[in-house]
Each structure stands twice: as C-alpha cells, then as structure tokens.
Structure 1
Amino acid sequence: MAEVNYAQEFKRSIKDPENFWMDQASNISWFQKPQRALTKDQNGFYRWFKGGKLNTCYLALDVHIENGRGEDIALIYDSPVTQSIEKYTYLELRDQVSRLAGGMKRLGVEKGDTVIIYMPMIPQAVISMLACARLGAVHSVVFGGFAPHELAIRIDDAKPKLIITATSGIEVDRIIPYKPMVDEAIAKSTHKPDHVIVYNRRMGAVRPDQENDIDYATLMKIADPVRCIEVDATDPLYILYTSGTTGKPKGIIRDNGGHAVAMHYSMKHVYGVNPREVFWAASDVGWVVGHSYIVYAPLVYGCTTVLFEGKPVRTPDASTFWRVISDHEVDVMFTAPTAIRAIKKEDPEGEFIKQFDMSRLRYLFLAGERCDVSTLNWAGEKLNVPVIDHWWQTETGWPIVANMMGFNEHFDVKPGSATQAVCGYDVQILREDGSEAERGEEGYVTVKLPLPPGTLPNLWGDTERFIKGYLNKFDGYYFSGDGGYIDEDGYVFITGRVDDIINVAGHRLSTAEMEEVVAKHPDVAECCVVGIEDDLKGQIPLAIAVLKAGACIESFQLQSEVVGDVRKEIGPVASLKKVLIAERLPKTRSGKILRKVIRAIADGKEFTVPSTIDDPEILNEIEKLFQDQMVGSFEKKVKQSN
C-alpha cells in the first residue's frame, strides 16, 4: 500500500503532474522510456508520454511470463448461463492471443488498422481485444445487445478491416443470433470489412455463411503465433463509442501509454488491490468498465480477472454473485448499483449471502449510475465490507472521484457522494459564466486541464466535435456534462446530466436518438423522450408523443409499435416501454421543449416554472397525464399507499 497519504499525493499530482506521472510511468515496462510526461500535439491538445514505446498486450501477458508467473491464473471465465467454468494461465492466454493475432495478420491486419469486435461475454472476446493490441491494431468493441442499425453506424465511422463475432450470445431465456445481426449491419453500412471472423458457439443459432467469412477455429489452426508490435505511447489502443446528444455516437479514443500507466496506478491506489489477487468487475466488455477493469487494468497489474457471463438474478437466482465471489476467492469486486438493487429486490434479507464463504472479499465498488442511499447501506450491512461509490465516465476510462482505498487513511462515507477527487483530477464546479462556484453551490462539474493520463485525447475522426463537446464551454477545463457541487469538506456530489444523455442500468443512452425513432412513426407529429427515476435501473426512458391531426391510433397500439421500433433501431438495452399521448408539450416561447421540467414532474421533485414558458397551464396537463397513467413518482406513491 502507498506510504504517503492522500492529501500529499493529490497535491503533488495537481501541482507537479510532470514528475508525478513520470514516477508512475516507471512502474510499467517500456520498450523505450519516454523522456517527459506531458506535451501538446499539433491541435494544442495535451498528450502523455510522447516518445515512449510499448505494447499493451505485452504488459498484460508477456511481462508476467518473463517474470516467472506463466502458470498463474490470468483469467477465470464463469458462465452460469452455459454452466461452464474455464481458467486460463498467463501462458495459455498468451498462446491463444498470439495465435489469433497471427491469424489476423494473415488476413492483412496491420498496425493502425481498425477491427470491430461484436462478441458475447466469452474468453474469445478478451482474446480478440488483446490480439488487436498485440498487433498495434485499434479495436472497437460494440456491445452485443446493440441492433444492426447501431452496429452499421459504428462500421461506417471506424471503417474496420475486419469484424470478429460469434454465432450467438445467450441471455437468461433466449439465444441471440449475432451473425445475422452482423450481416444485416454490413448490408446497411457503406464501408465493407474485408473479412468476418466467426466463433462458433454450437448453440443452434442461425449461422449464415458469407463469401468473406472465416471460421475462428480454422484460423487458429493455420495461424502462426506472433510477437508484440512496438507502438508509440500516443498511438490509439481502442475506440469506444458512447451516446452523443446528436444521435450520432462519439468514438472515444484511448491511447496506449497513458492508458497503461493509469490502469496500473488505479488498481493500486483507487481499488487497493495487490498483484496476484482476484479482481472481479461484473460488467460487459462492451462498456468502458469491461475494457478497463475486466481486461486491461487487472492483467497489466498482474491480478486474476473474472469474466462473468450471466446476470445478478435468474442465473439461476439472486445468489449468483455471492457464489462467484466464494468459488473464485474474489478479493475486490466492482459492479453497478442496478445489480445490487436487483439482488436486494429478490433477497431483501440477504439470506443467500449466508450460504457462501465471503471472507476473502475486502471491498465492493459501485459505479455506472446513481447509487441511492438504501442500496449503499444494504450492501454494506449485508456484506460487512466497505462499499465504495465512485464516479467516472467512458471519456476518462478510470475514476474521477473516489474514496481511494490504496491509501492507509480513508474518508468517512457520505451517502450520495462519490467522496473526493482522485489524484490527477483537479475537479472544480463552475457557474454558467465560468466563475468558480461556492462550496455547496450547484453548478457544472469540470476538470481543470490537463486531464491525467488514460483519459480521452480526442474523438475518432472528429476533432471539431471534441472541442465543441468538451473544451469550448469553459476555457482551460474539461466539461463533464454533469451537474453537481462540492461540500464544505471537499466531497463531490454528482446530481445528474445537464444534456440529453440518460443512464439506464449503467448504460449511457441518448434520448435524442430515441426521439428520432419515435418521431419517425407516421402518426406522431412531435415528441420528447426523458429519463425518469427508477428504483431498479436508476433511470428509464419515457416517451411523450403528440399525434398528427386526424390520427386515430389507440395509445396501446402506438406504444407497442414505438417500443418495437426503438428495440429494432437501438436495441433492447434502451428499455423504452412507456409511450404516452399528450395534447401538447410544454415549451418555451422560442419552441424549446422543457425536458428538465417534465423530468421533475415525473420524479415528483420541486421545479421552477421558467419565465420563458409559453403556457404554464400545460404543466398541469402533464401532471394529470402522469397521474392518470401512474408514471414516475405517481406510480411510486400508489405502490406505497397500497
């Protein structure tokens, strides 16, 4: 554990980032060490460790083998949905990765090429990511639940040389045929990849073969293993798409050098883990948590990582998480509050926990969306370990605010706060005019530049959007898109998005994108989609539609058709299930829909009627509509009264 205390370390990271991060960079193995930490590129953007040369796959696998740890377990695959467990040593994982990389090289993949990975939670997904890193290729993992339309958008943006997929994913009660979805996406996209590598799961899913398809197992048989390719610290490791307010996803870039340094640092100082311990992030490789804390950080740091294919409940029941912790002797776990809420709902007294040996579990970390007080307290009480709520974003790749467990001194928990800024992040709350807010005053959550290593240096192919979305609002600051405040003790409280992004069970989704789908319905004149509070998922989307004159569609039919359209266009992850019909929508006199006010009404919160509102009476109509349909807080009040 760290010898210095948090206050000293944090101060040094902000006052002297150059030397602070050069010290951290010495903890990883470089092919060529950087001469300095911080520089600026031709756009004037900060870059980390320019001149350094390394390979992220080498850090994750080869270096541990060279240090005599080849027979240690690197990856545990636990799949209650297929009732199978597989364990891979560092040597076994390296051999699989180097052979797939050789096969990809045989298919023409070179350093700097892009590869899309559309896979379920299976070892081959991790192997594919690391194989790309080994070649210096840039991977973009697309969450397997996304619809062909969404995949097609990412194909056209990333322009992959090849796609790696599987025949199917598996949910609690159904098989999801991935290959037909990939074929449909390619048919819809303008860019066409050279090949599609298909891993056959042998679950009976439809596997249509195309001319350029390559069987994964066959490729592995004929491929020659390859060594790691040397890349620059500033070369991209991956692109990860996240929802944008325009409906077009943003391609977050992660570089190799800064990312590796940040991953190593965070495992020790944020999560308080030691090498050789077992770390489990119960997420999906399609999300940033999966990239950072299923694949890269644990392996770079030398931990055993758990890859879990299942759900917190119904696979087979609410005991699954505790069984995994017990079976694999998990030391530190990371999941979303949604997962804990689902378990709590099924097993409110925590009876399942008593059936398992949880003695190895030291900390539970929660992030991804709002962590309510009751969930935080329930988990702490039932597990009898510190439960750490922390906050970060796809853009940053690792925590911005946390109770850093790698230090000997820890902060007292304040429910509702993710505690204090992580070393390297100069978090500040700014007013609309750019002035610094007083303690306790709500404003815009920003980070004073430079951002620390591992954070996004740019967007893939869209520098203008990067500047406009993150840097233009406040000169010299990264704008997080969130609102919040810092209290008198320095604790950071995040109050929610200030744009149209909502957080559904840890999945960032664009309400603007959903609105586009709703608006396409032939009977809809105009609409809005807002995220309202939900006890289980944190937020869920709600659509309100105004019908065209003369339309005579019934509300249940509109809801069925719109829900189906959103599921087809965006995917089931969107969770849009409720569509209301209104006579009109509350707007300003300039025509802007008052989404924030609609959210407040649905959530039963106080709000100020904007002075610019066109007709205040419409708010009463919306409130009555919600009451009649038992939406949001009205539904909660009815349930409570019953």
Structure 2
Amino acid sequence: MSENFDVKLDGKSYLPDPSVKESSWIQDYETAYNDFLKDPEGHWANIAEELDWFRKWDRVKEWEHPYAKWFTNAKTNITYNCLDRHIFNGKRNKVAIIWVGDDGKEEVITYRQLYREVMRFANGLKSLGVVKGDRVCIYMPLVPEQIIAMLACARIGAVHSVVFGGFGSNALHSRIKDAQAKIVVTADAAIRRGKRLDLKTLVDKAVVNASCVEKIVVLRRMSPPMELFSEIEVDFNEILDKEDKECEPEVMDSEDPLFILYTSGTTGPAKGIVHTCGGYMVGTYYTSKYMLDLKESDVMWCTADPGWITGHSYIVYGPLSVGATILITEATPDYPNPGIWWSMIEEFDVTVFYTAPTAIRMFMRQGEEWPQKYNLDCLRILGSVGEPLNPEAFEWYYRVIGKGKCPILDTWWQTETGMHMITTAVGEPMKPGFAGRPVPGIIADVVDENGQPVPPGTGGLLVIKEPWPSMMRTVYGNDERYRQYWSTIGNYYTAGDLAVKDEDGYIMILGRSDDVLIVAGHNIGSAEVESALVSHEAVAEAAVIGKPDPLKGDSIKAFIILRVGYKASDKLKLDLVYHVRMNLGPIAIPSEIEFVESLPKTRSGKIMRRVLKARELGKDPGDLSTLEE
C-alpha cells in the first residue's frame, strides 16, 4: 500500500434491547476497557484466576520483542478445565455435545461420558507409543470422535495437528511431513449431502513417503466395516473398548505447545501456527465467556469445523472450558433443503449461533420464507466470523434471524491470534459494516506504513500494538516467518488487513492489503466495491479483482452471483455500474461484470480472489489445497 485513502463511512447504528446488557458479563465496554488499560497484566491475571491451575504463575507476562511468555512457570492442562472441573462441580450429567449426522441421526454426550471417552482414547494413544511432545495428525469428519481425539492429545501432552477433512491427499501429506506426525487419526468416510466421501483412501496416499507415521487409527463408520492392515492400522473403537477409563492429565507448562494448525497464505506453503497451553486456554475461555456472553445454560452452535481455528477456539476449547453445551453437525446448510439449519436451531433450542458471512449471504439468496417457517425465538446472540460482514448481510441477519432483538457480534481475528480481537461487546451500539472496537485486553489501531495512526475515515493498516495471551508463539519450523508478523511496521503485530476507524473508535475491516486495487492512482479496497455491489437487491455475492490496465493501473472486474428470481442481462450490468457510481463514486466503477453460478472459496468460506485473477490473466493460481471445490 503506497498511500492512505479515504473511505465513505455510514453512521448508521443499532442499539439492542437494554435487557441484553443487563444480563451480559460485560456491563459497560468503556469501563471494562479503561480498567484493562489501567492494569493490563491485572486484567489477564483476573481472567486466569477463573480457571484451574496445578501451579500458579510467577509472572503474568514476559515480553522481549517479538517473543512473549504468558503465565510463566504455571502448570495446567486444558482438558482439566474443559472436563474434570465440570465433573467435580456438579455438571457431570450436563450435556456437553449434541451431534446431528447428515442423515438426521442424533447423538448426545454428557460431560461425564466425554470425560471417560477422552481418558480411554488418551490411554489408547499411549498404548501406541505417543508421549508428551509427539505430534498427532487428526483428519476426520465433524463427528464427536474428532473432538475426543483432540482432547485426548491435549490430555497426555501430545501436540495435535487437525487437518480439515475436505483437504486432498497432497495437502494432508505436506502437513503430516511438516509436523512429523507420529500417528494419523482418521475415519473411513465423511457423509456430505447424502454421499459418502472416502477419507481413508486419501490418508493411504498421504502417508506414502511419510516415514514419520507409525500408526493410523481408523474410525469405521460404514457397514460392512472396511478391512484394516494390522501392520500399521488400528480401529478407533477397539482402542476405546480395551483401554482403562482413568488417565490423569499430563502436567503441562503454560508455554508448552498445545497444537499446530496450518493456515495457507496467498503464496508459499501452508504455515504451521503454534499455540501454547496456558495463554491459548485463557484467551479462548475469556472471549467465549465475555465476548460471546456464554453462560453454562447456553446451547452454542458454531457452524465451523475443528479443522479451522474457529472450530478449535469456539467449538471445542472455549465453550467446553465455560461448561456450555455445543451442537455440531455434518449437515450442510442447504441439504436436504435450505431450512435444515433453522430447524436444528428450533429443535435444539440453540441460544448462541456463530456462522460465516458466506452462509448468511447464501440464506439471503434463498429468501426469507425458509427461516420464517421456524421458531427462532430461542436465539440470544448472533455471531459472524471469517471475513467482513457487509452491511446488507448484517441488516438481513439482524432483522430476519435475530428479529431485531439479538446482538450481532461481527468478530475479527485470525488463526495467528487464537481468539477474538475486535468485535462489538454485547449490548453496545452495533454499526453495520464495522467489526467493532478492540476486545478489552487488546490494543489495536489503524496506522500508515510508518506506524503512525491515521485520522478517522482514512484507510490504513490494522495493527495490534501489544502482545496478548493467545497469540501464536512461532511458525512451526520457520521462526523467521513468525518474526515477519512483528517487524513489518515498527514493533507492532501486522495483520495484513486494511481497515478504517471512525470517530467512536469502531474499526471496519476492508479486506487483505494484497486485495487493494489501485485505479488511476487511487487505492480501493476490494471489499468496499464488493459491499457496494451486494447492497443492490439483485446481488447475492460479489468478488472483484484488478486487471492490469495501461492507463488506470488496474481496471476492476466484478464476478456476480445473482439472487433467486433475477436474471443476467446487459440492463442489469448497467444498473450495477450506476449503483456503484452512486455508492462509491466513478473511480470504483467495474469495467467488466461477469455473472457466475459460484465463486472459488476456501473451505472456511473466504473468496479466493487470486484464483479468479489467475484464471482471468491465464496464470498459474498456485496452491489450491484450501479450495472448496
């Protein structure tokens, strides 16, 4: 980014019903944030005191740029906080997990049952030779056994590396090799839209030339059960059945690694982000309780997969540490019909619903009649994650799903941050298009290339100015890559996102800094043009790219998915051009518009604009391992 740029800000805001704030954990954002600023380490110490530790810390934080240690010399185990303490505090028979299969089959697991299954599988891993510090790759569909495997690793101090079950064999192979995984835990198949998707065959290919792998543990779901090869393969349930149900939690240092999670950038190989036991536990517990306002009585449904950081933090570790009930499902949002998710919210009394803008826009495209068939009054909190929630999707989510009464938390964070960093605290005024303000405990700002804060309404780079407990500690095997995060702009953590701040300190995320279009010397965020297009009644989704132009630098090409009931036409193209002109001005007008049926997306729902650009320019799109299709 060569210069700052001005952004048109809409001052619209919504204030939730006052009763929402009365019952929330954070009664007043300004007070909470100012209390943090007065005593930053005291803020985090108070949160950590709510959790159980085998040994308390000597110091809350040690910071030698760019390396942090949190809760130094403290001893804990995250599974003790997710399981044991609930067992001992009278919640042993409370429901921990509700699972719904693609075919509607249901399974309910209490905290007592989960506790025992985790200990049995942890002993099973021990019997296979897994010890503290070993890496275990988990490549599974979204079934309870996936969560059991994660917690079992954490129980004995093994470092889990969860790989999303939609990745192909090459992506799986590279992650197994990079982490030097000793064990791979998988299933014979996933079920998606009524069809069997074979996972075991992909694992067989992925472990070729991966000599680090000693055993493959297979959850056999299909009938008849597939044959296993005794030399290397073992049955998931046979391990459970023969192992003792007592397994003391490994005493882990706060700074011991908990997991590696691979995240793909726009270029280069996937990065293995390393998170640690103590700080990550505190960060995910804190944001689950105080940002999502999670209570023990809540049923939370985060629609992500544990293969992503959202699933790690807000399906598994955060909600279970709070003691809530989680809903997980293999069901896709439009199979067997676009009402399936809403029917599950009604059926299971979901109170906290956390999903992606991509899903929300898909539902917008299907029409309001589907959610209106179901009683969604149980919903209390609505969340959004994965990419900026554009104002039109916010309005629809707030009005149609939340019935104008549910606070919406548009959360900005990353695999690298481990927890929510920017959002709107429950009960505070919500501004469509703005993620919100920094979470108490986080110091974020929008700056220029020299690290100087830019004025309100001026675009710049989003930075985090001070360390936080759940920050990644390194990139596995590539510490230089880690240091780059903290050295691009001064001593700040640079997220790689463009943003703008308003007069009230609310931050709008404009998109990745590498998604900036430079048109006739003006910097335009791709997300801003996309948001303008999506605000047209005919548009369900939009992606824009810059194409080299000898006069302008970049010309803008837009790819448009239309809502149901609208047809592509030259007249509609002209309407959309005019619409963008009226919203953003003539500089942001697309030179080309192409109507498409789908857009290339990662499995977490982010549009892969570089794929569109590569196709358009006839170039190699690079690593496609994260592509949905």
TM-score when normalising by structure 2: 0.79
Aligned to 2:243: 223
* Preserved CA contact (<8 Å) 2:394 2:433: no
Alignment equivalent of 1:454, drawn from 470, 477, 485: 470
Q: Does 1:93 align with 2:110?
A: no
Aligned to 1:306: 327
Letter in 2 for 1:493: M
Q: What is the 5 A alignment of 1:416-455?
A: 416-450=433-467, 452-455=468-471
Q: Does 1:330 align with 2:365?
A: no
* Preserved CA contact (<8 Å) 2:544 2:557: no
Alignment equivalent of 1:296, drawn from 284, 299, 317: 317
Q: What is the 5 A alignment of 1:104-123?
A: 104-123=125-144
* Distance in 1 of aligned mates of 2:40 and 2:375: 43
Letter in 1 for 2:500: Y
Q: 1:198 to 1:190 in 2, by over 3 A?
A: closer
Q: What is the 5 A alignment of 1:205-604?
A: 209=229, 211-225=231-245, 226-314=247-335, 316-346=336-366, 348-349=367-368, 351-383=369-401, 384=403, 385-405=406-426, 410-450=427-467, 452-468=468-484, 470-499=485-514, 586=548, 597=554
* Distance in 2 of aligned mates of 1:361 and 1:228: 36
SS of the equivalent of 2:108 reads strand
* Preserved CA contact (<8 Å) 2:364 2:540: no
Q: 1:394 to 1:449 in 2, by over 3 A?
A: same
Q: 1:269 to 1:599 in 2, by over 3 A?
A: farther
Q: 1:630 to 1:123 in 2, by over 3 A?
A: closer
Residue 215 of structure 1 and its aligned partner are, at CA, apart by: 1.0
* Preserved CA contact (<8 Å) 1:141 1:286: yes
Q: 1:630 to 1:328 in 2, by over 3 A?
A: closer
Letter in 2 for 1:494: I
Q: 1:130 to 1:501 in 2, by over 3 A?
A: farther
Q: 1:537 to 1:182 in 2, by over 3 A?
A: farther
* Preserved CA contact (<8 Å) 1:166 1:179: yes
Aligned to 1:135: 156
Alignment equivalent of 2:94, drawn from 72, 86, 98: 72
After superposition, give the CA deviation of every residue in 1:419-439 in whole Å (9 maximum; x if it has no partner): 111111111111122222111
Unaligned runs of 5+ in 1: 503-530, 545-584, 611-619, 636-642
SS of the equivalent of 1:248 reads coil
* Distance in 1 of aligned mates of 2:476 and 2:429: 40
Q: 1:3 to 1:120 in 2, by over 3 A?
A: closer
* Distance in 1 of aligned mates of 2:296 and 2:504: 33
Residue 268 of structure 1 and its aligned partner are, at CA, apart by: 2.1
Letter in 1 for 2:253: D
Q: Does 1:56 align with 2:78?
A: yes
Residue 22 of structure 1 and its aligned partner are, at CA, apart by: 0.7
Alignment equivalent of 1:29, drawn from 33, 44, 52: 52
* Preserved CA contact (<8 Å) 2:275 2:473: yes
* Preserved CA contact (<8 Å) 2:388 2:435: no
Q: In terms of mean alpha carbon deviation, does 96-105 or 241-250 score higher? A: 241-250
Letter in 1 for 2:554: V
Residue 182 of structure 1 and its aligned partner are, at CA, apart by: 0.7
* Distance in 1 of aligned mates of 2:370 and 2:594: 38
Letter in 1 for 2:482: F
After superposition, give the CA deviation of every residue in 1:323-380 in whole Å (9 maximum; x if it has no partner): 111221111110111112222222x12x333443322211111111232222211121
* Distance in 1 of aligned mates of 2:190 and 2:596: 36
Say which structure, 1 or 2, has more relative contact order (CA 8 Å, 6+ apart): 2
Unaligned runs of 5+ in 2: 1-23, 518-528, 561-576, 600-608, 613-629
* Distance in 1 of aligned mates of 2:362 and 2:597: 22
* Distance in 2 of aligned mates of 1:336 and 1:324: 17
Aligned to 1:514: none
The aligned length equals 537
Letter in 2 for 1:201: R
SS of the equivalent of 2:473 reads coil
* Preserved CA contact (<8 Å) 1:177 1:206: no
* Distance in 1 of aligned mates of 2:225 and 2:436: 46
Q: Does 1:5 align with 2:28?
A: yes
Q: Does 1:20 align with 2:43?
A: yes
* Distance in 1 of aligned mates of 2:169 and 2:544: 21
* Distance in 2 of aligned mates of 1:287 and 1:216: 23
